[in-house]
Structure 1
Amino acid sequence: MKYISIDTDVTEDLSEEEKKVLLNYFKKYSAEVKNLSFEGLKNEGLFDEETFSLEGILLAVKDIKKKTDKEAIIEASKYRSGLGAIAIEYTLEYINGKWEIKQEKMLWIS
């Protein structure tokens, strides 16, 4: 995997500071971190039209529903290829100063 692209512009619920934190979090992996959408990756020539695949992965936060100060639901997706994509809904709980995954539910897979 050459890169991890995180489409932070899908949801307006993330502040600029939260976007920076999210992008910095993924720097721990040995891949370049980008802030590009699917269209952005295509425009940069990073999408293979023949195989419908990326040489990296695209992560996107589709929706954030904050239920309380201690619980939130996030819908996120991952795209690697037309046959390598998934969307998951995460229920998060704020425990001891950090958000933890309480439950996850697959929404779709290809």
Structure 2
Amino acid sequence: MRLRKGLRVCLFCLAAVTVLIMAVACSPSSEGDTTTAAPPTVKQPILEQDPPSGETGELETESGTESGNTEEETANGNDELETPAGNRNGSAGQLYALTFEDMMKMDEALNHEMNYIAVDLSEMTQLTEDDKTYIIEYLQGFGAEIRDRTLDQLVEEENPDQSSPSLKGVLLRVDKVEINEDSAQIEGSKYRSGTGAIGVKITLKLQKGAWKLSDSEMTWIS
């Protein structure tokens, strides 16, 4: 009896062990292999990095080139805007430029089919080269060639044998000047021929540092 009871116990234990082995064998390999499982992936923050030194140098070079071109273009633009005469407000150049302009507007019949406007600056020793340049450039607004000539020079160039010279243009000349602290009175003439000329008297005022035309009249006609 005891032998049979012990045999049964052994069989029962063997069956239990067999069941346990089969259960372990049938379980998924991923669940059993805990040592080789990869850890879950953790998303790391992205850190900003400086560009390579070579790229940085190229950017700086390009920026420097663009800046240099901009400065050069600005300078060229400034050169194009400047004139040799510059700002002549209150100068003798501005005074006589306005005087000659007013002469040209008097007796405009003398301007008919003129080829040029001549100004006699030979006796006006107070004028600088900048003043003369300003006068000539200012009178170009009349759309004619501007010459610095005396009457004798014009006659010699055009009709040296004429007894009563007649010009192909008009000659503007200053004969008398009176300048005060803030005003000026100028007498002169506008000449086209012996029978086509006028005398003028022009008054100008100095206002806020610039000459302004105040009054003008014809004093004689031929």
TM-score calculated relative to the size of structure 1: 0.84
Q: 1:45-98: CA deviations, max 9, x gaps?
A: 257827631110000122221111x20111121001111111111110012443
1:89 aligns with 2:89: no
Which residue is equivalent to 2:87?
A: none
* Runs of 4+ residues over 4 Å off in structure 1: none
Shifted more, 35-44 versus 50-59: the winner is: 50-59
Percent of aligned pairs with the same amino acid: 36
Q: 1:9-57: CA deviations, max 9, x gaps?
A: 1333433322221111111122111000001101212578276311100
Gaps of 5+ in 2: 1-113
1:55 aligns with 2:168: yes
Point out the structure with the larger helix share. Answer: 2
Which residue is equivalent to 1:106?
A: 218
**Could you tell me how far apart the structure 2 residues matched to 1:45 and 1:7 are?**
16
Gaps of 5+ in 1: none
1:15 to 103, 114, 128: 128
- 1:47 and 1:55 in contact (8 A); partners too: no
| Higher RCO, Cα 8 Å, sep 6+ | 1
- 2:165 and 2:193 in contact (8 A); partners too: yes
Task: State the aligned residue count.
Answer: 109
